[in-house]
Amino acid sequence: MPAKSKKQRKFMGMVHAVQQGKMKAPSANISKAAKSMTQKQSGDFAKTKETKLPVKKAKRKPTYSQVAKSVRKTQGHNY
């Protein structure tokens, strides 16, 4: 599975390095990800080419129910 952004690719590169024993886990998130994934999975993310990847993954558009909920909040309704 390819990485969706440069940040995700960098994170998975660190996870892969921890799994191989090349570095110590710099954070709890990396340690947790290293324990929950196989080396092949993290390697697939880490080897993604960065040329056309965005720096950060774009946010998803809000759903209709999320928009309606925020409108109700701003108008003072609690239903």
The backbone region for 76, taken as left when phi is positive above 0, alpha when psi lies in -120 to 50, beta otherwise, is left
Do 37 and 43 meet the contact criterion of CB atoms below 8 Å apart?
Answer: no
pLDDT tens readout for residues 19-36: 999 999 999 999 999 999
- pLDDT surpasses 80 at 75: no
Q: Does residue 66 surpass a pLDDT of 80?
A: no
Q: State the distance between the two ends of the chain, measured CA to CA, in whole angstroms.
A: 41
